[in-house]
Every structure is written in C-alpha cells, then in structure tokens.
Amino acid sequence: MVFSYLTKDNIFTKFEQSRQYTELLTAPFPEYSRLARNKPSEKIKREHPKVTDGTAAGIVRKLSRRSVQQLPTGVIESEKDDDYNSILAEFIYLNRILPNANEEYDLIQKAWTIIENGATFGSQAVYTPFLDHDGVFSSDMTLPYWGDIFLQKGKKSGPASDYVFMRTWWQDTDVEATIEREKTLAKKAKMRGEKYVGQYDIAALERIKEAITKKDDKAQTPSEADLNLNPEGIEIVTGFQKGVKAKFITFNPATEEVIREKENKDPRGKMPIDWYYYDLDGSNPLGRGLIELIAPLQNLIDSDMQMYQYNRALSLGPPIKKKGKFNKRNIVFAPNAVIDMGDDPNADIEALSIDTTGIANYANIYGLQKSQMLNLVSSPDTSISSEVGNPGFGRTPTAIKTQNNNVSVDDNAVRKGFEAFFENWSETSINVYFAERRGKEVLQLDEETASRLRELEAEGKMPPGKISEQNEILVDYDEATPKLKFRINAQTSKVNSEQAQLEALDLLVQTLDGSPSLTAVVPIGKKVEVWNSIVANSAVEGSDDLKISKKEMEELMQAQMAQQAQQIPVGEDVNALPEQPPIDPMQQFASELYDAGVPEDLVTEAVQLVQKGYSEDEALGSIMGVLEQETAND
C-alpha cells in the first residue's frame, strides 16, 4: 500500500498548519505587489501628491521580455531508451500540448508573467491540469495566485515539500455544472453496460452549494482589493502529495466535506505543480525576489519625489500672509491684477517666503538614488550620468558597454532559471498527458515524424504495419507508458538581435580571412552558409536574391573540389603538410634586436640602414655607438 502524507483523517489539520505557516512567509507580499504595480502607498501624507517614481515597476516588466523572447525547445527521452515512445511523445508535445496550453492566457504571456511574479515575490507555482479544449484533451498550464498556494510546514522550498495545498474559488454554478457532468457520464456508462466510477462525490457537492464565503484579505487579488469588489465564493482546496498512486484530496474547509479523491497517475509519482524561482537564498522557502532588494530604496525615492512635488507647489503658489480687515476673496494673484484692501490702514498682504534649499539639488539626488537601485539589478538604463556621484553609470561607449555586460550576465541567469522551470513543466505536462488519456486514437502524423518512425520500423525497433500510407498511427493510451524526460536546449529562449548576429558573423569572417590554415580546411559550403546568414540579418531589400541557393552551392563545391584536384601533382602526398613560407631576413633581424632589448627607434634605424645597402654588422655598429653614448650620458 502506498504511504500517504495526507489522508481524509488529517487533511484539515495539515491544511491549517500549512496555511498559517505560508501566510507568515507571504506577509510582505502585498507591499511587494504594490511596488511592482507602481501604486502609491496608503501611508502617504494627506497633503502630499499621490505620485510614484515607477523605476521598480519598470524593471520588473522589462526583465521578463528582455530575458525570454520565445519559448524554449528541447527533446523528449524515454526512461527505457524507447525511441518509439520518445518520438510519439515529442509529436504530441509539439502538436497537442503547446498549441492548447492557453487556458486563461497565451503560453508566452504566461511565461512572462511567471518571471515577473518570480522577480516580485521570489517564486511562482505552476499547476498542470488535464483539460478539455473544445474536444481536444490535453495538459495545460495555470498560474495560481500566491495567496492560494500553501507549503508543507518546515520545508525549505516548494519542490522539497512532500505535499502542497492549492486553493480555488467556485461559484454555485460551478458546483451544479460538476454535478450535472457526473450524472451524464454515469448515465452514458450505464447505457454501455459499464459501471462508472465517479470523480466527485455528488452528495458532498450538494452539501457545499450554499457554503459561500467572502474572501479574506490574503485571498483577494490586488484588483479585487483596489476596486472593492468584495469577492466571494465556495472555497475549494486540493491537497497534492508525492507518490505513485497517492491520493489527491479535494475538500471544502468551511463544511469539512471531501468532494473528491483522485489517484496520482503520473508514473514519476510527482505532484502536478512545478516552481519557478527568481533566486534562492536557502532561507525563505518561497525564494527571494528582486523587489525585496530594492523596496526600501524605491520607497525612499517615492517619498523624496512626493515631498519635492509638494514643496515645488508651495514655491509656485506660496501661502499668503494677510493683515488687517478686508475680504480675502479680493486677493487674486494674476498679471496686472488690482487688489482692493479697503480703508484699513493696517491692511497688507505678503507672500510667505519658502526656503528652496532643500529641493535645490533634488535632480542630482534623484539621479544618484536611481543609479543605486539600477546597480542592484543591473538594469540597462544609460540615461544617468556618472556626474551624479555614481561612477558605475555613464554615457560613454565604455560605460555603456560595461553596463550591458552586467545586464547580459543577470539576464542570462534569469533565462537559465526559466529554462530549468520550463524543462520541469514540459516533463510534467507530457507525463500527465499520457497518464490521463484513455482509450484509443488515430493520430495524423506529419511527414518528418512518420519518416522517423518508419526508420525504427525498418530497424526492427517497433512492430511493422503501425503506420498507414497516409501517415496515420493508432495509439492505445491504456497501454503503460514509461516515464518520459524532457531535456531543454539551452539558450533557445533567447533571440539575438539582427545587429548582434551581424557582429558575430563579421567576427567569423574576419577570423577566417586572417587564418590561411582555416581558409584551407573550411569547405565552401560553410562559407556560403555564413554569407546567407549575413544577408538574412542585413534587412536589405531583395535580400533573397542575394542568397546563394543550394544548387548554386553544390556547383561551387564541385568547382572547388576540381580546382583542388588540379593543384595536386601526380604522385604527391595529399596528406603532406604544406610548405611553410620562407622567413623574411629583415623581419628576423628586427626580431633579434627587439629580443636583445634595443629600443624601437634604434631598431627602425638599423633596419633602414640595411635597406640602404649597409651590412647588418655595419648597422649594428652604428646603433651600438648611439647606445653607448646614451649610457654614458645617463
């Protein structure tokens, strides 16, 4: 029998422990969320303007799009080194899972949101459900809100937890729809003469229909809180736990009704929850985000900006000191205005003098504060000069290059972290797909996949006749599928700019041109590929006409081979090393002088004497005399 961390007897106690533990960890998250959304603090003084600087929010938003420009690619491997299942799984991953993993948002948008949330809070949990997409069943990706994920108490990270709780909020119509679906499936099974084993306890569902509660502060999203939506619903929590065939238990905490027990069908025994971490410090199980580093400085910048705006408003429209008895409505500050102060001889008005020394250097202070923040996160902002007091910033080519190098290192770290997460999610999604699918299906394969499978068939690595002439194959999902692994192709989530590509290609060409040995061994086909890449990234109109076609490349290669054959005399060893070019005597003479420590100007003079017809000994005698004279003078 499988060991269970969670059972119907302890599920409510374990959930309460996890909830209290996790809510202590997430206590600072509302403040981090406010900064990442560029919202002013509620603690701003009433008279101060509700303005923010927005640097932190801009950093978080740009980070994800700068680090990941496209979804990574990879390969699927079977644990049993089964090429058939690997190829079939790869086809399903590319043609079923990725195109349909769009529940709530597009997949690339989810990728950016994952990185943004990781940078804001330290991590992001990702749930992989198995859903019906208009008749196409496939695993998907959803992003639970941070207030709806609860870790096992005492664990150092999400992946280290033996069980995790995830909360969702249903409406009464969701419960009714679930009840109706269970009844329909049971009726169809009875008509087929089968016994239907329901996923949900219908009686328990009926009992929780009225268990509608209001979301507490932790459960409300920022939009729900800001707009005073007062959200409410039926709290549904699922306890996931590790272990092959372990039970996933779904319940309603308010009524303590268990509405479903579902077996973990993943052959790996893992939970369908993967984690992206922005940074790990071995201390906080939810990781360490970027906002945590810069929150104090961002609040300081916002506070200074608010006070600056307030004092600037005072200096532009200062308070008025009024003496005597007259109607203050007569005081109108305007060009050519006449202010009638009546007959009171003591009547007088005077604009209050505002001391502006506190804000005189605000621009430099703001620049220095912002540069300190950008230093923490290596943001590519070149608008700040080193004159503000931070030598790490500047607008010179050298300073910009240094900043870009730092950005590249940090962005690469974020990219690597995301690719590690995406590798885990892809592996989970493909294993969940094969674990949850039932019955048989005829798959229409593409030409490439069909060809790869036919090669296996020819090698005797799969039964013959499985693939039809129309590239169709019958897949029986009830057959056991081995554990599948996904291996990411590193750096495939990055798209280099055309300029960066051209610079890299130009370096290749320069290296090739400067090396006779490389020129001799690199085939013309590779040189043509470099040329076509240069054309493709040049953005020149009509660039396709400049590319060299495959046929033209083959003709060039044949011509090169014929030319090389003509250059090799009959009977000559083609493997012999090429003759070394003769050493230039003048260059050797100069080199010997340099090695002897002769100054460069005297070496040049000696070489010139030899070129005029003097012997090397005569030239040496001449410069030796100069050297002796200089030594005597010293």
For residue 132, is it left (φ>0), alpha (ψ between -120 and 50) or beta?
A: beta
- How many Å apart are CA 524 and CA 272, to the nearest integer? 50
Q: What is the pLDDT of residue 579?
A: 55
Query: Nearest CA to 125 among 424, 416, 414, 413?
Result: 424
Average pLDDT over residues 91-104: 93
- Is the Cα dihedral 563, 566, 567, 571 positive or negative? positive
Task: Compute CA 424 distance to the chain's CA centroid, rounded to the nearest angstrom.
Answer: 15
At residue 42, the 3 state secondary structure works out as coil
Q: Exposed/middle/buried for 302, CB within 10 Å: 0-12, 13-18, 19+?
A: buried
Picking from 65-79, 92-106, 342-356, which range would have the lowest pLDDT averaged per residue?
Answer: 342-356
- Structure-token pair, residue 474: 């019958």
- How many Å apart are CA 494 and CA 187, to the nearest integer? 51
Q: Note whether 32 and 289 are within 8 A (CB).
A: yes
- Structure-token pair, residue 420: 């590690």
Average pLDDT over residues 379-395: 53
CA distances from 269 to 241, 243, 445, 541 (A): 9, 4, 30, 55
E-state strands within 313-369 = 320-323, 348-351
The predicted-structure confidence for 404-427, as pLDDT tens digits, reads as follows: 555 577 888 899 999 999 999 999
Q: What is the pLDDT of residue 587?
A: 73
Question: How does the average pLDDT of the chain come out, rounded?
Answer: 84
387 has a pLDDT exceeding 80 = no
Q: Which residue has better confidence, 550 or 620?
A: 620
Q: Note whether 586 and 565 are within 8 A (CB).
A: no
Q: What is the pLDDT of residue 163?
A: 98
Question: With pLDDT > 70 as the criterion, what percentage of the chain qualifies?
Answer: 84
DSSP state of 131: E
Query: Nearest CA to 604 among 593, 617, 615?
Result: 593
The predicted-structure confidence for 561-581, as pLDDT tens digits, reads as follows: 676 666 655 555 555 555 555
Average pLDDT over residues 104-119: 95
Q: What is the pLDDT of residue 318?
A: 84
Q: What is the pLDDT of residue 327?
A: 82
How long, in residues, is the chain?
Answer: 634
- How many Å apart are CA 564 and CA 523, to the nearest integer? 12
Q: What is the pLDDT of residue 499?
A: 59
- Structure-token pair, residue 359: 């804000």
Q: Note whether 608 and 591 are within 8 A (CB).
A: no
- How many Å apart are CA 160 and CA 285, to the nearest integer? 9
The predicted-structure confidence for 336-381, as pLDDT tens digits, reads as follows: 888 888 888 888 888 888 877 778 888 888 888 888 888 777 665 5
Q: Note whether 468 and 99 are within 8 A (CB).
A: no
557 has a pLDDT exceeding 50 = yes
116 has a pLDDT exceeding 50 = yes
Q: Note whether 91 and 339 are within 8 A (CB).
A: no
Q: What is the pLDDT of residue 611?
A: 75
- What is the radius of gyration, based on Cα positions, of the chain? 37
The predicted-structure confidence for 527-541, as pLDDT tens digits, reads as follows: 777 777 777 666 566
- Structure-token pair, residue 440: 């048989």
Q: What is the pLDDT of residue 400?
A: 46
The predicted-structure confidence for 258-293, as pLDDT tens digits, reads as follows: 999 999 999 999 999 999 999 988 889 999 999 999
Q: What is the pLDDT of residue 249?
A: 97
Residues 6 or more apart from 346 whose CB is under 8 A from it?
323, 324
The predicted-structure confidence for 197-243, as pLDDT tens digits, reads as follows: 788 999 999 999 999 999 988 889 989 988 888 899 999 999 999 99
- How many Å apart are CA 158 and CA 215, to the nearest integer? 24
444 has a pLDDT exceeding 90 = yes
594 has a pLDDT exceeding 70 = yes
The predicted-structure confidence for 122-156, as pLDDT tens digits, reads as follows: 999 999 999 988 888 899 999 999 999 999 999 99
Q: What is the pLDDT of residue 498?
A: 56
23 has a pLDDT exceeding 70 = yes
633 has a pLDDT exceeding 70 = no
Q: Note whether 286 and 149 are within 8 A (CB).
A: no
The predicted-structure confidence for 289-345, as pLDDT tens digits, reads as follows: 999 999 999 999 999 999 999 988 888 888 888 888 888 887 887 888 888 888 888
Q: What is the pLDDT of residue 540?
A: 67
CA distances from 125 to 121, 122, 275 (A): 11, 10, 5
Say what the pTM is: 0.75
